[in-house]
Amino acid sequence: MDITRIPPWFIKGVWYVIFAVSLSICLWYVASRLTDLMITVAICFFLAFAIEPTVNRLSARGWKRSRAT
């Protein structure tokens, strides 16, 4: 058996590590670019859920939902 020979599982493992690191870097980049958008969407959801009871109350009193919003 030749001691200087690299086992086949080692090369496959190196490729897995390279793939995992590059995928992690890409995901981190995309998440960092979308942070402002995610914050804006979260605020919009909060505001939509916050005004829902008022819209329901006005709708029950005869207002159209589009007008109550």
Residue 1 lies in a domain: no
Contact 51, 43 (CB under 8 A): no
Core vs surface per residue 8-22: b (16+ CB within 10 A) or e: eeeeeeeeeeeeeee
Range of the domain at 37: 8-68
Per-residue pLDDT for 2 more than 80? no
Closest CA to 68 of 18, 59, 60: 59
User: Looking at the domain assignment, is residue 25 inside a domain?
Assistant: yes
Cα distance between residue 47 and residue 40, in whole Å: 11
The mean per-residue pLDDT over the stretch 13-25 comes to 97
Given the structure tokens 């109550």, which residue do they identify?
68
Domain count of the fold of the chain: 1
Q: Is residue 3 part of a domain?
A: no
Full-model pTM: 0.54
- Is residue 12 in some structural domain? yes
User: Is residue 27, in this structure, part of any structural domain at all?
Assistant: yes
- Residue 1, pLDDT > 80, answer no
pLDDT of residue 57: 93
Instruction: Write out pLDDT tens, residues 22-51.
Output: 999 999 999 999 999 999 999 999 999 999
